[in-house]
Amino acid sequence: MATFVLVHGGGHGGWCYTRLARELRALGHEVHCPTLTGLGDRRHLLSKDIDLDTHIEDVVAFLFHEDLREVYLAGHSYGGMVITGVADRALDRIANLIFLDAAHPRDGESLSTIAKAQMDMAHSHATWVDGVECYELPDDMAAVAYGVTDLADAAWMKPRLAPHPWACMTTPLRLANEAAVMALPRTSINCTPTLAIRPKEYLHRTLEADFLFEIDTGHDLMISEPIAVAQMLDEVARA
């Protein structure tokens, strides 16, 4: 069976994969759900020094210290930025890069450039927390923005969301060996509503994958459709 490392997106934490991890483990897989610095159960570590490179190093260090190899490395949303950087720095540990309705960046790009409309909206809700510029969607917007329509799911999710350091969104991704990263096996699981609002100049990236899936659910697919997503990932692992 496969080893999955699931990297969360903006404002989330390892907690968002609780249901998906349970389903994958039931299928016999090993699953890790690290939380990035300053978020989730590590929100007490919020600092002005946190940026995209911090989060990339979080996961690189996690792979090293857990001595994980042949990893199926998944990233949701902003997590696509993180896993692409991780692959560049830990290429020999990655078996497959999995983009869960995620950003598909290239060298020199930031999330604020490849998802400008969404990031402009997020920045309109900027707030300052302990001297750190962050974005944090108001409670009445969060569930809608993340595509979580079930009221119980939304109530579970909202208190766990955390302010996300804005520097993470503006830091350019730097890849030392972009060609090798792009050559890794790739899986793309796209949410139908997100495909409809992807910038046209970047849409093709979401479709360039060895394993390609589409699911008609909201952006937080690991919360709304954990069983279906687990089945897709299991299919990739068994291929």
3-state DSSP assignment of residue 66: coil
Local structure of 128: helix, strand or coil: strand
How far are the Cα atoms of 28, 38, 147, 151 from residue 234, in angstroms, in the given order?
9, 31, 24, 28
Of 47, 77, 110, 224, the catalytic one is 77
The residue behind tokens 């759900």 is 33
CA distance 237 to 89: 23
77 is catalytic: yes
Gap between the Cα atoms of 145 and 15, Å rounded? 18
Q: Which residues of 50-81 are buried (b: 16+ CB within 10 A; e: fewer)?
A: bbbbbbbbbbbebbeeeebeebbbbbbbbbbb
> 220: closest CA among 171, 168, 156?
156
- Catalytic site positions: 77
